[in-house]
Structure 1
Amino acid sequence: MSDNRSWSDIGEELRDAVGDALRSGNFKDLSDVVMNTVTDTVRNVSSRVGQAVSESVNYTEEYEQATRQRQREREKERQAAKEARLAMLPAPFRRVGRVSSVLYRVFGGIGTGVMAVLCTVFGGLGLGYGGGWWTAFSVLALLLGAFVLMVNVGCKQKLRLKRAEKYVELSGQNQYVNVEELALHTNRTPRFVLKDIRRMLELGFFPQGHLDSKGSCLMLNDRIYREYITLEKQRKVLEKEQKAQARRAVEEKPQPAKQPQESAGGSELDEMITQGQDCIRRLRNMNDNIPGEEISAKLFRLENLLKEIFEGLKEHPEQLPQMQKFMNYYLPTTLKLVGAYEQFDDLSAQGDEIREAKAEIEKTLDTINCAFEELLNRMFRETAFDVTTDAQVLQTMLAKEGLTGQRDFEFEKVSR
């Protein structure tokens, strides 16, 4: 029986089968026909129900996918709208000293006027009568100085508030601004502006204010600062990868083969050279983690000096005793300083003490490089002296044999 048979066909087939069974009296065929008909009907119904369920499931999955896609799109739109609203909001700003500056100036001005009059009166009495009037005049003069100081403090607070308002105005909708730009528009030096901003951050003028690691940019809200931190991390990773690539390119260059030489000191020399190579690797890794170009140049120079020193030690093992202090103190201390610089440089917020410590380490690296360069020169000083002596002796002998092409009176002078 076909799946596409209609219910009318099934009914006619059953009717014909029943009629044949009644006429012939044989109901066995009727049972088979009924069984086959029912089986085909059930199969047909099950197939249609399964198809309907499958179509319903497919429709449900497509509907859920479309719903999730619309939800993601709406979430993106809400996030974009939220960021747009945040960008339009003014940067958090507190007018610190707005009230206190007025109080300082008012009461300081009143006190200054009163004390000035009293000082004049008591000063005149002191000139006329002397004695205790001068003591009273001295006390009043001190009070006058205190009130003048109050006026000065109030004026400074007022001026600082005006500068802070100017900084916010110059930042505009970006809510960040370069220190040099602030210095240009306020007719101040960048150093003064940077110091002024740090003082304002301490006093709480900018509740969400931050300076970048170089002290060159003022950011007035946390959102901008988080974006800066993300970009700074990406920049450090990129610089680290570039340094690693440059390092690999240098290391992959073929090195000229060196003749094996006899070593004095045996295992002690090998151990010292191994320690030196380990220190060079540590220095290289720390340099890769430090993004600053100036400090990196100093560390590159230091690394090359160390390579030359240990290569020179291989050629001059007699310098082994002189290298003990270098290995036990100078080199470990140098690595300790560079490690501290790496930790300081990784801090997102660096105060004055951290910046001063970094500057001192950079200055010390210059001294270390000069000292290590002198150490390298000392290792080859005797060799250079021997070579110079041999060259002079050779020139003298060639001149005596008349093989230099000089005239007699010239080579007599050389002989002498």
Structure 2
Amino acid sequence: MDKFKKIFLKKNKEPEVIENVSEVKDISFEDKFLEESQKATDILNKSILNGSFSQLPAQIDKIAAETKGKEYVFKYERRYIDKVVSAIGILINLVCLYFILVLIGTLIYSKDFMILSILGIIASVVIFIMNILVVRKTVSMSHFYKRYDLYYEDLRYKDIELIGDLADYSKIPVAQVIKDLNMAIELKLIPQGHFGTDNLIFINSDEMYEKYKKQQASYDRYYKKKAEERLRMGERTEEIQALLDQGQEYIDKIHQSNDIIKDKEISDKLDKMEKIVSMIFYELDLSPQYADKLGMFMNYYLPTTKKLLDSYIEIDEKEVKGKSLKKSKKDIEEAFDKLIVSFDSILDKFYQAKELDIASDISTMEILMKQENLMK
């Protein structure tokens, strides 16, 4: 039994299934779901062992769950036109420099074309400066979109995030993060974005912002306390470090497999998978009290992913080509898609659990604050 199961079973006796935190938990439903998930996992393992992958996507569906479907943070689709504009601008500037040098030579050695040379130099300088501004703006926006990709990964399932946590995740200074988030609001990438008091937190939706305004003092107090806790965070416990180490092994496995697999489409899927899995363990590091929510993820999904990666690489490296091998590869590729959806769902459920606890903590804090005011 691996280290996670020991930690997990010690607290729960049976692996806990991630439920929709907005609903009341039904123990019999959990048991039934766990039993079906275990059956599906057994079939997955047998399929991989026997080299028969046709049932994989359907079985992964049985242990998958849907996300809430909310979308307040939108992904920016990169446009190659930005690179084209930059290249054209640089080319035009090189041409302008050439003409400026030629016209300066003409001005020095030929008085007959003095006026034309001066006008030509002025026009070339103006075009050169305008292109410098265009290229600078294009490059600046390109850098912004690279940073925004990191913000998107962190914010897409969250209603509220500490600016400090976002800066820590993206490895970008707080001042730049605030500037970028304002830009994202302006560009409608986060159309309902709002900042809290003193730019301590960032709120993604108008609905959440209305709740924040109604309980602003409590929210500010709660997140100020959270920010202070981040600064005081000490060393991780041995149990959490063991989970993070185990998680890093799976992340490394996905990354190493991606280096081996040459198919561009599969590589893109594994890139996405690696980002989601990395985010799950990043959030676990920030909120280790939710470790027990990741039972399905650690005990079923990640081991299955590892086996599928090994199977795909083994099939891909075989010199003999045939319809059965192509079919197996196609089935595994479809299973990767299902796993990505499932990982997304797990991350979403993780945030749902946190949101419910945050709402409860803030309500409790409001009661305590009212009691403090009455005692004064």
TM category, shorter: 0.3 to 0.5
TM-score, reference length from structure 1: 0.34
Q: Per chain length, whose mean CA-contact separation is higher, i.e. which structure has more relative contact order (CA < 8 Å, sep 6+)?
A: 2
Give the structure with higher Rg (CA): 1
TM-score, reference length from structure 2: 0.37
